[in-house]
Structures are given as structure tokens and as C-alpha cells.
Amino acid sequence: MTAMRPHHRGLLAFIIAVGGLLPPAMLRAQGGPADRQKVDPAAAARGRTVYAAHCINCHGSSAKGGPNGPDLIRSTAALRDRLGSHIGPAMRAAAGSHPATLTAEQIVDLSQFLRERVEAVARNRTPTAPIDVLTGDPEAGRTYFFGAGRCSTCHSPTGDFAGLRSRTPDALTLQQRFLFPTLTRSEKRVEVTVTPLSGAPVSGTLVRVDNFRVSLRDASGDYRAFSRVPGVKVEIRDPLTAHRDLLDEYTDDAIHDVVAYLWSLK
Amino acid sequence: MRIAAALLLVVLVAIHADAQGVVAPSALTQPATDSWPMYNGDYSGRRFSPLMIVNSSNVQSLSLGWTHRITAEGPAGGGGSTSAVIKGTPVVVNGVLYVTIPDHVWALDARSGRELWHATWPSRGGWHIGNRGVAVLGTSVYVSTPDCHLLALDNRTGKEKWRTEICDLDQFYYASAAPLIVKNHVIVGVSGDDLDIPGYIESHDPETGAMQWRWYTHPEPGTPEAKTWPSIEAMRHGGGMTWGSTTYDPELNLIYFGTGNPQPVINGRKRQGDNLYTESSVALNPDTGKLAWYFQSSPHDTHDWDATQTPVLFDGTIDGEPRKLLAQAARNGWFFVLDRQTGRNISSTEYVKTNWTSDLDAKGQPIPNPRKEPQVDGALVSPNQAGGQNWPPPSFSPETGLFYVNATRAFSVYYLYENENDDKPQGWGGNDRGGWSEAMLLGLDYQTGKARWRFSWEGSPTTRSGLLSTAGNLLFAGDSANNFVAFDAAQGVPLWRAGLHASITNGPITYQLDGIQYIVVAANDTLYAFAATAPAGQP
């Protein structure tokens, strides 16, 4: 399934893939009362039918209101409702414009449908449909890769990027990895050389650095740590420095073109 | 309020009852150096202390006085972290230190960290993202809760005096801000941006909790400002929360605060216009709640850049003239200096490099580049959603004339989702993702807006440490590598460092008791009090 574009996949598979990138808290609304009703999908589906039969003409296809009826997602009666406790009386209070024939069960189902709609809006910081980032021109991306972007200085479509698409879950991930690369899938590491106050310089793979201490693992695998007191020299060689500098240079068009080109490297 | 204190603590409370005493209004207009009587230390928001027992010559002798670790069960309901992280600023009066997390208030002996009482609130929900702390007046301690309550507690016991609802949990509002006492007003703001709800700030009677006024962060229909929205409905569901800190000028009798992001947050296509008064610095009369002026730092924002950073008040000199100033390092990456009598802009400067602004308008407000609004296929934007600055409080030293900000330069990609893909987007409608960032401590010259010095935090992509400056030429700050550092405030050179068990999560405070100056700061669940004693013969 690695070579498929996101919108060719099942929606559920995509949501799982995206969900894997997000902290769990982002998948639900962040606020709201603890005692609000939990959506029963079967009841909400029945409620959708009730809504379509009796409510949709005035309150709109997504319950966000229409010319003759208010937005129900923003209605305090709907937001305070618990299984019909508020929307039932609200409909009765405006009996002239609301159907008198709804049963108590239908009102509960309607309440479940509206709660489902409210929760969908409250979760709307998380994507529920694929993000299509493949809007660029692959040929322009190729030109940028070998030209202005200087990507080919370090990367090659027949070398490290051969079969890139087969190793990347989706184009959105590719865009993120291109803009904000890490070394987790690379054999390269951040290297450091520390010159202590006395003794020879020590080089190795950076473990941790702040303004006051630095630590590394040397070629023999030993852990070495130093306090950065005046006179101690620290030289860090980060293979990703060039990528960070490019963040100030990229245009959004170039980003989309490069992603389209890289996605073509099957 | 359920009291979690055992009988032993009740005895301790009785012993300390005299110490807790009564806080008079004058204690707020002229704070004593043995206190830190409100969120920002005083009304100005400068977080500057005149104390100088600890100073740039002797800071190496600063040592650990006490620590106190809070333990609390997670919230009874609602979203957010269940871990105990202190994100508020402690308040110290009459030798007692009050510290909070959502649904919890502790009173500690400010000399030892010993617990006097612990009050817990059974939550009905709301986002438990953080609590910024208490306000104190008379014998009351005021705190807001995630489930939309403002509480008054007895300062001797933590027992509830009164409670009042300040927002509607069913509309997904919540509360996190520290209340501010101004005369006989308890002023408190609200939070919430899951649904499209209007922001407001309100004032309550300190004795009864009765509401005195409420000011919505949108214009009145029919006013010229209302034309910055496409419709009255969009305006009345347009966000603009008030979760930052409020400052006050007693002479001008104006309170100042910043407002949050417009709604829908990311998809702004159906709220064309500037969207007043979202993402603005505003000045209100604290007695009436009437608007005096506004300055919008992010017209028509689509990046969640709440302009709720502290509006810091100080008097300075601009072009040779003495001026009453207000300065803010806003989340959108810009540093604004305003005349706080009129709200007129004096200067607007980027304090971190950004890429979303095409120009400044005649009022000094940044003009957003439409190409950097969120796009379906992504737009690379700097700063990211967390911003150049967020809730950690800045500091201003009148001794150095520098405005200090613990800043982050960050990039992320903003996507517009095709969720809810109809003609009426609601909620967020997008988000940002990924990124790269670097953190730095800046000393900004308010006269030029430029950094007089810059200290890069190595190994810290960002930081959540607030700042404290003192007359001892010191600036206290933290990074994200567990360092708590004292800098030479004039030069930006680190002079002293303590390695804590976690990174700083609040703004440091200072107070002096019995000739000992304390510097208190929080790292996650633990308060660290560093202390230094005055040399013999000095007070």
C-alpha cells in the first residue's frame, strides 16, 4: 500500500495514519463539560434521518442554519441538551414552526445527531479527510532540485532518494520530512569536537548540549562530558544546518513543486 | 470547596492565622518588598523587583532555601493533562505563598515551603491546560477553575466563601486566568476556542461575587468597528478570549489586556475583515468596563496567534519627550510600543524574524500576507502556532531600559482542512504541523525596538520560562534543558546557574523576609526557593 496516493485509500486507513502522527489529545475536543452525552452512532444515524425529514429545510444540511432557521451548532439549547432535555422544550415552545408529531424517541435520536455534529465541529482542529499536498509541478520541482534549491548537492534521485516514495507513507509525510528533516532514518549524526582546557581535542557523536554542558560518545563508545567553562571550545557539525537555512528561502510554490517531484521517484 | 487538609493542618493553620492577616487595597498599589501580591508582582506587569540583596556581584552565593513538591490527583473531568504542572505565578502576602494548578490551591509558608492548607475543587470538566494563579484582597483568595467558576476562599483555611459561574461550560468555555484586584473589582477573563463563541472579560464584587460589568471583545452592532466583520452573526461568534494577564495604571484609571484569536481559528474565509477586537491590546475603565482605546496587533489572524501577552506599563522617553508607554512582545513575532493614554502606536518591530507580514499600515499594524494564510496544500509560516512568545511572562527593567522576552523562532506548515466542507466553516478548519525552532533570550531597547543583546539557548528548541528582573542588575530565566539561570541584566551574560529536575514552567518571583531574599520558581510539580542573606548590618 506504500505507492498509493492518500485519496485513493480508505478514509479509515488514512485517519489511522494521520492519527499516528498526532498526540491523542488532538483527536478530541479540548474543552467542554465532562457529563455531556456520549454519541451513540446508531441513534445519531436514526436522528440524521429524522433531521432530513423534518429539520433540514430550515436549519440547513449541516445544521449550521439556513434562511429560515438558526444555526443549531451554535444554539445554546442544542449545546445544553442532554437526550432531548432542551431541544424538546425548545421545539414545543416554537410549536407553530416545528413538527408536533415527533415521538420522544425521535427527539432523543435528533439530540444524538446534533451532539454528533457539535462534537465534529469541536474536533475540527484535526483533519478528517486526506490533506492533498500534491498540487505542484513535478518538472518545476526537478528543476529546483538540480538548480536553485541545491538539493542535488547532497541528494540524488538514483542514489539516496531512489524509491523514495516506496519508503514514505504518504505525500503529506514526504512534505514534512523534506521541510523538517531529522536524522532518525539517516546514518548521519551530529558530530562534535570539544577542546578542553588541557589535553587533546575530543571528537564524537553529540549526546546532549546546552549553554553550560556538552556530552558525546567517542569512537570507542565511551561517554564523555564537559562543563563549558570559559576557554573550553565546542565545535558542532550538524548535517541538517543547510536545511534549516533553507527555511528562509523556500517559496510555497517551490515546496509544492519539490514534493510533487519527490513523490514521482517511485 | 472540599478541604483536603487533615486535622494536623487545621492546627497549623490556626498557628499561622495571624500571619495570614488582611490584605489592604494599598498593598496592591504600593507593593511591599516582603510580598509578591499579584500575578505580575505589581500592576505594571514589569516583573521587576527593587530588591538587591542578591545582585550581579554576589549571585554566585545564591543557594537552595527550600523546595516543595505538590501532589494532586488528576482532574475529575474534562480534557487536558492530568499531571501536576505549575504554570501559574505564586502570590505571596503576609508570609504566605499561594500556588495553583487547575482545581487546586495550596497555601505554603513562604519561609519554608511547608503546607498550611490545600483546597481542591471537584471539577465538572473544561480544559485543564493550566491555571495562572490567585488574587488576594482582605481575607479572600480568588481563583478561576476550568469548569467556569470564580471562587473566593478564606485565606486562613482555604474554605469556600462564595462561588459564581463566569462562563458556560456547555459552550466549551473554560477558565485559567489569574484574577486581578482593582479597587473593589475582581477582574477575570475566560478561555475556549473549540466552538465559535465570543470572548469577554468581567468584574465581580469581592465580597459577594456579584457581577459588576462584562465587556465583550467585539464591537457593538452599527459602529464603524463592526464593519470589520461580514455579519453580526460572524462577529458574535468570533472568539477573542481573555486568558492573558491584565495590568493597571491607577493614575489613568485604565486596565490593559490583550485579546485572543478570532473564530473560526484557521479558516478565516467567511470572516473577511480585520475582526475587531480580536488580537488587540485594549484599555478599559475598571469601574465601568467601558472601552477607552484599542490597538490591533494581528488584523484578520488565521494562525491562532492570541495577542494575550502581557501589556507591560512603564514610563520612558521617546524622541526626548517623557511618555507613558505600553509595550507588548506579541505571539505573532512583533514588538509593539504604544502610548498607553491614547493607544497610538509609537513603534512596531519584529523581535524574531517572521514571514507572514507584507507591510505595516498607517496605524503601525502588520498587514498579513494572504499567501501565508493556511492553504489546503500547506503554507510554510514563521512563527508557528505557539508563536514568538506565548503565555510565559516577560519582564521590563527600568534600570536597564530593556524589555526582556524569552523568544522562539519557529517554522511550521499551516494546512486548511476540507473538513466541514460547506459554506460555513466552524471551529478551527485547519491546523499547523511539524516544524523547527530555536529559542533565545532578548534584551529589547524600547526606544528602537532592536535587541541590545541576544542570548541563544543552545539545545533548547523552545522554552516555557517566564522572566524576572531585579534592581540587583539580574535577570532570571530558564531554558528547556532544566537550567535556571541568572544573567547580568545589562549585558545578557550568564552569571549563575542551577540544574533542576525539569525545565522551568512558570515565571519566577522574589520577596524578602527577615533579611533573606528568596527567588522562587517552578519546574513541573516542584517549587524551588533559592535564598541569599543580607550581609550583617544591612536590612
Is A6 within a domain? no
Grade residue B81 by pLDDT with cuts at 50, 70 and 90. low
Look up residue A124 and give its three cell numbers: 475540527
- pLDDT tens for A99-143 read 778 999 999 999 999 999 999 999 999 888 889 999 999 999 999
Query: Cell numbers 542573606 correspond to what residue?
Result: B533
Grade residue A12 by pLDDT with cuts at 50, 70 and 90. very low
Is A88 within a domain? yes
With residue A18 as reference, give the H or E element that holds it. Answer: helix A11-19
Closest in B76, B192, B433 to A176, CB measured:
B433
Q: A106 and A66, same structural domain?
A: yes
Quick one: pLDDT at residue B100?
97
Name every chain A residue with its beta carbon within 8 A of the beta carbon of B355. 248
Question: CA of B414 to nearest chain A CA: how many angstroms apart?
Answer: 11
| Cβ-defined contact of A211 to B457 (cutoff 8 Å) | yes
Quick one: pLDDT at residue B9?
39
Q: A215 and A153, same structural domain?
A: no
Closest in B124, B174, B420 to A121, CB measured:
B420
Name every chain B residue with its beta carbon within 8 A of the beta carbon of A111. none
Segment B398-412 shows an average pLDDT of 98
What mean pLDDT is reported for chain A? Answer: 88
- For testing the chain A interface, which of B418, B433, B503 should be mutated: the one with the most A CBs within 10 Å? B433
DSSP strand E in A61-183: where?
A: none
Grade residue B420 by pLDDT with cuts at 50, 70 and 90. low
Quick one: pLDDT at residue B17?
38
Name every chain B residue with its beta carbon within 8 A of the beta carbon of A256. 377-378
Segment A50-58 shows an average pLDDT of 95
C-alpha distance from residue B176 to each of B127, B129, B145, B166, B492 (Å): 9, 8, 6, 11, 32
Which of A122, A146, A173 delimits the end of a domain?
A122
Is A131 within a domain? no
| Cβ-defined contact of B434 to A180 (cutoff 8 Å) | yes
Query: In b/e form, how buried is each residue of A101-139, taking b as 16+ CB within 10 angstroms?
Result: ebeeebbbbbbbbbbbbbbbbbbbbbbbbbbbbbbbebe
Which of A94, A122, A150 delimits the end of a domain?
A122
Q: For residues B262 and B279, is the Cβ–Cβ distance under 8 A?
A: yes
Chain A residue with CA closest to B482: the answer is: A210
Query: In b/e form, how buried is each residue of B353-390, taking b as 16+ CB within 10 angstroms?
Result: ebbbbeeeeeebbbebeeebbbbebbbbbbbbbbbbbb
| Beta-sheet strand order (sheet of A223-227) | A223-227, A213-217, A202-209, A191-195, A233-237
Is A180 within a domain? yes
Pairing of strands B468-470, B451-457: unpaired
Q: Is the pLDDT of residue B284 over 70?
A: yes
- For testing the chain A interface, which of B83, B170, B495 should be mutated: the one with the most A CBs within 10 Å? B170
Is A130 within a domain? no
CA distance B136 to B356: 41
Look up residue A238 and give its three cell numbers: 550538524
| Cβ-defined contact of A210 to B458 (cutoff 8 Å) | yes
> Whose CA is closest to B429, among B334, B303, B521?
B303
**Region label for B166, one of left (φ > 0), alpha (ψ between -120 and 50) or beta (otherwise):** alpha
Grade residue B84 by pLDDT with cuts at 50, 70 and 90. confident
Residue A50 is given by DSSP the state: H
- pLDDT tens for A148-168 read 999 999 999 999 999 999 999
CA distance B488 to B474: 5
CA distance B440 to B458: 9
At A143 the three-state DSSP class reads: helix
Quick one: pLDDT at residue B519?
98
Q: Is the ipTM of this complex over 0.95?
A: no
Domain B2-533 fold is: Methanol Dehydrogenase; Chain A (2.140.10)
Chain A residue with CA closest to B480: the answer is: A210
Question: CA of B121 to nearest chain A CA: how many angstroms apart?
Answer: 14
Grade residue A11 by pLDDT with cuts at 50, 70 and 90. very low
Q: A166 and A107, same structural domain?
A: no
Grade residue A22 by pLDDT with cuts at 50, 70 and 90. very low
Quick one: pLDDT at residue B537?
63
Q: Is the pLDDT of residue A238 over 50?
A: yes
Grade residue A81 by pLDDT with cuts at 50, 70 and 90. very high
Question: CA of B34 to nearest chain A CA: how many angstroms apart?
Answer: 33
Quick one: pLDDT at residue A17?
33
Q: Domain range spanning residue A118?
A: 29-122
Give the sign of the dihedral formed by CA B51, CA B55, CA B56, CA B59: negative
- pLDDT tens for B452-494 read 999 999 999 999 999 999 999 999 999 999 999 999 999 999 9
Quick one: pLDDT at residue A26?
43
CA distance B116 to B107: 5
DSSP strand E in B50-114: where?
A: 63-69, 91-93, 96-101, 104-109
At A72 the three-state DSSP class reads: coil
CA distance B346 to B447: 9
Name every chain B residue with its beta carbon within 8 A of the beta carbon of A179. 380, 411, 413, 434
Question: Phi/psi of residue B215, each to 5°?
Answer: -120, 120
Chain A residue with CA closest to B493: the answer is: A211
| Cβ-defined contact of B378 to A62 (cutoff 8 Å) | no
Segment A209-233 shows an average pLDDT of 97
Q: Is the pLDDT of residue A4 over 70?
A: no
Question: CA of B454 to nearest chain A CA: how many angstroms apart?
Answer: 13
Residue percentage of chain B with pLDDT more than 70: 93
Q: For residues B176 and B144, is the Cβ–Cβ distance under 8 A?
A: yes
Q: Which of B103, B193, B304, B525 is catalytic?
A: B304
Q: Please tell me which residue, A184 or B348, carries the higher pLDDT value.
A: B348
| Cβ-defined contact of A176 to B80 (cutoff 8 Å) | no
Q: Cis ω on the peptide bond leading into residue B461 (within 30° of 0)?
A: no
B304 carries an active-site annotation: yes
- pLDDT tens for B95-151 read 999 999 999 999 999 999 999 999 999 999 999 999 999 999 999 999 999 999 999
A9-13, B350-354, B362-366: range with lowest mean pLDDT: A9-13
Segment B354-361 shows an average pLDDT of 97
Closest in B125, B355, B422 to A32, CB measured:
B125
Grade residue B28 by pLDDT with cuts at 50, 70 and 90. confident
Environment class of residue B11 by beta-carbon count within 10 Å: exposed (0-12), middle (13-18) or buried (19+)?
A: exposed
Question: CA of A49 to nearest chain B CA: how many angstroms apart?
Answer: 19
Closest in B169, B380, B435 to A32, CB measured:
B169
Quick one: pLDDT at residue B257?
98
Q: Is the pLDDT of residue B78 over 90?
A: no
Q: A157 and A251, same structural domain?
A: yes
Quick one: pLDDT at residue A99?
78
| Cβ-defined contact of B353 to A248 (cutoff 8 Å) | yes
Question: CA of B124 to nearest chain A CA: how many angstroms apart?
Answer: 6
Quick one: pLDDT at residue A91?
92
Residue B376 is given by DSSP the state: T
Quick one: pLDDT at residue B76?
46
Cβ atoms within 10 Å of B422's Cβ, excluding its own: 11
CA distance B340 to B405: 20
| Cβ-defined contact of A209 to B353 (cutoff 8 Å) | no
Q: What is the largest CA-CA distance in chain B?
A: 74
Look up residue B127 and give its three cell numbers: 480544559
Name every chain B residue with its beta carbon within 8 A of the beta carbon of A15. none
Total of domains in chain A: 3
Grade residue B75 by pLDDT with cuts at 50, 70 and 90. low
Quick one: pLDDT at residue B538?
65
- pLDDT tens for B215-269 read 999 999 999 999 999 999 999 999 999 999 999 999 999 999 999 999 999 999 9
Q: A35 and A152, same structural domain?
A: no
Quick one: pLDDT at residue A3?
32
Residues forming beta bridges with residue B367, ordered by sequence position: B359
Is A257 within a domain? yes
| Cβ-defined contact of B378 to A209 (cutoff 8 Å) | no
Which of A122, A150, A166 delimits the end of a domain?
A122
Quick one: pLDDT at residue B271?
97
Residue percentage of chain B with pLDDT more than 90: 89
Segment B515-537 shows an average pLDDT of 93
Name every chain A residue with its beta carbon within 8 A of the beta carbon of B455. 211
Pairing of strands B48-49, B468-470: parallel
Closest in B147, B376, B497 to A212, CB measured:
B497
Name every chain A residue with its beta carbon within 8 A of the beta carbon of B126. 31-33
CA distance B47 to B285: 23
> Whose CA is closest to A21, among B75, B87, B78, B415?
B415
